[in-house]
Structure 1
């Protein structure tokens, strides 16, 4: 990669606090563009426009992500004085639709937890750890990356809250229910003390459990519970947390805080996953749905 793109990535890390995975995604997108048209700091406008042909077979969401990375780079390059022009206007701007999240039914959640609790009854450390993991995914709505990287000192003592470091290094307080607190206490009690590690869910090497390993644990548990593994993942459990809270009447702004979303628009997608509930809400709460009003309207 060119020195300019390396400087841009360094800025994202230092000034914006971009997460490791975010930086890796930017690096891949910028490296791919430079492989196609050369140093982005000096690439001519026509060459930048040619990227549309390079991306012709990609999904709209992928094209949108790549174009966004380049637009941000070009803005940075102009600010640094490396470019006088901004070729962002020739980049494609495909329309993308955010897919609706997969939703687990209450019955599926009950089945999954019943299996996890049955296995944890043995007090075998891996089974107890498994229960603690799914309790925090569904009970607190943590992202997979947030969950696996929890430090040991995050275990609540005086108050039922976790201090979680989310995207961009932002921290937030996440409430922990009684069930999850009990599961955490069980895990801490049987958690091996060696090798020493600062992480709550550590790997054999002393670092933290990987997201891939967490993914595998959840899929295997689903299979043993006779549920479709393709329909269940750590992120699906986070979606279930959000959806079921909304079903119970949670406020969207509160949910935004719990999930750690920077933009309320990201949280609003959950308002589209329960159309039946919305119809029932209109039928039960709208003034014209009340018999007294309908009767008055007829008599008038």
Structure 2
């Protein structure tokens, strides 16, 4: 990205005042770099772009067949940047104020059934050695707590050294939250800790619960995702249906299925807005709708009648 004092100040603000995560900063850089390239081709600059310029950019994104959700994320980055310019006195007007966000659908999260989760854990429990113990501990922790994968791989070993019924998690923006830790997860982590010091000789003095020889010092999100897909295959689960985030979805949905209230779930997931948590109630509704359509005798009768009419029309 070209040197730009306003961009430098913007990213400094995100890091210092909002404590933005490295992944968030990287995403903003990519989005603003894409806009910069577009404006440069039009012989314009970030600081002087008009609403018309930005509207043309959004049209450019649509022409590239980017999804409405990706377009909305790009627009969010633009809004953050130009609002900063106004607040910092670098610009008198906000060119994003007149822009409309693309209409979004409401995609429901992927998830695994309770039976599939049980199968996944069972397969992991049959693996030998340190690798198996580590994978089982990670899966049990994710399913027991609903952690984000970034929170899991960066978890300090100190968080598990205290025999407490709750796990203290440092989430987005450095905010801490307490999540109950169930006995199976505790047992899996305890079993893993017995292997940890000799686990491939990987940084035995590392502060991370899941250390690695990589530059980050801990197991990466990408590697854990690969491991999940591999074990998913052994459990008979399509790799396309499984990821660390899917396990977070399974935690939330299965808790609601068993009577958890939405506010408690919001706190455990670390959602700032309960509207984010409410997506799981839509998952429940869709599953109930599917259950009725599949198994209710009147629904079956309606399908049968519809099929007969179609056959008669074809004849």
- TM range, smaller chain: 0.7 to 0.9
1:262 deviates by 0.6
Contact 1:156 1:162 in 2 (8 A): no
1:90 deviates by 4.4
How many corresponding residue pairs? 277
1:113 deviates by 1.2
Question: Which residue does 1:197 correspond to in 2?
Answer: 206
1:64 deviates by 0.8
**Partners of 1:43 and 1:11 in 2: CA distance:** 21
Question: Which residue does 1:91 correspond to in 2?
Answer: 99
Secondary structure (helix, strand or coil) at the match of 1:98 reads coil
Stretch deviating more after TM superposition (191-200 or 239-248): 191-200
1:62 deviates by 1.0
**Partners of 2:39 and 2:275 in 1: CA distance:** 35
Contact 2:130 2:196 in 1 (8 A): yes
Question: Which residue does 2:135 correspond to in 1?
Answer: 130
Question: Which residue does 1:53 correspond to in 2?
Answer: 59
1:278 deviates by 6.2
Contact 1:247 1:277 in 2 (8 A): no
Question: Which residue does 1:160 correspond to in 2?
Answer: 165
CA-to-aligned-CA distance 1:191-216 (integer Å, 9 cap, x gap): 12542311100112470100000101
Query: Which sections of structure 2, spanning at least 5 residues, go unmatched?
Result: 290-315
Does residue 1:68 correspond to 2:76, yes or no?
yes
Secondary structure (helix, strand or coil) at the match of 1:159 reads coil
**Partners of 2:167 and 2:256 in 1: CA distance:** 21
Question: Which residue does 1:14 correspond to in 2?
Answer: 16
**Partners of 2:220 and 2:195 in 1: CA distance:** 20
Stretch deviating more after TM superposition (59-68 or 185-194): 185-194
**Partners of 2:86 and 2:284 in 1: CA distance:** 45
CA-to-aligned-CA distance 1:17-54 (integer Å, 9 cap, x gap): 11111111111111111111143112244322321232
CA-to-aligned-CA distance 1:159-213 (integer Å, 9 cap, x gap): 1222111112211112110000001111111112542311100112470100000
TM-score between the two structures when normalised by the length of structure 1: 0.87
**Partners of 2:232 and 2:207 in 1: CA distance:** 29
1:9 deviates by 1.3
Contact 1:215 1:234 in 2 (8 A): yes
Secondary structure (helix, strand or coil) at the match of 1:274 reads helix
Does residue 1:174 correspond to 2:183, yes or no?
no
Stretch deviating more after TM superposition (166-175 or 236-245): 166-175
- Over 3 Å counting, the alpha-carbon distance change for 1:276 and 1:100 in structure 2 is closer
TM-score between the two structures when normalised by the length of structure 2: 0.83
Does residue 1:185 correspond to 2:195, yes or no?
no
The within-5 A match list for 1:178-257 is 178-193=183-198, 194=201, 195=203, 196-205=205-214, 207-257=217-267
Query: Which sections of structure 1, spanning at least 5 residues, go unmatched?
Result: 280-300
**Partners of 2:7 and 2:61 in 1: CA distance:** 20
Secondary structure (helix, strand or coil) at the match of 1:184 reads helix
CA-to-aligned-CA distance 1:146-166 (integer Å, 9 cap, x gap): 000001101042312221111
- Over 3 Å counting, the alpha-carbon distance change for 1:198 and 1:156 in structure 2 is closer
Secondary structure (helix, strand or coil) at the match of 1:163 reads strand
Question: Which residue does 1:286 correspond to in 2?
Answer: none
Question: Which residue does 1:294 correspond to in 2?
Answer: none
1:43 to 39, 46, 49: 49
1:147 to 126, 135, 152: 152
1:266 to 272, 276, 285: 276
Contact 1:103 1:240 in 2 (8 A): yes
Secondary structure (helix, strand or coil) at the match of 2:103 reads coil
